[in-house]
Amino acid sequence: GISKRPVVIDEEVEIRECVDLTIMVDHAVVDGAPFTRFIQSLTELVEEGYGLAEFK
């Protein structure tokens, strides 16, 4: 779920809404390297807020 937490933005502490995301993967099905690339791409999309403009 979404919770409010203190985070550092430009060396200032601000309260921001944050979300926890848990992903489980069967290593027998998905190798580590492709999954690492997926997680890197997912992290970039989430941090940049991709696709959230329509919710403003």
According to DSSP, the residues that pair with 6 across neighbouring strands are 15
Average predicted confidence (pLDDT) for the chain: 87
Give the pLDDT of residue 28.
Answer: 86
How many structural domains comprise the chain? 1
Structure confidence at residue 3 as a pLDDT band (50, 70, 90): very high
pTM above 0.85, yes or no: no
Give the pLDDT of residue 52.
Answer: 74
For 22-48, how does the pLDDT look when each residue is reduced to its tens digit (9 = 90+)?
A: 888 888 888 888 999 999 999 998 888
| Separation between Cα atoms, residue 32 and residue 34, nearest integer Å | 6
Q: Which domain holds residue 8?
A: 2-55
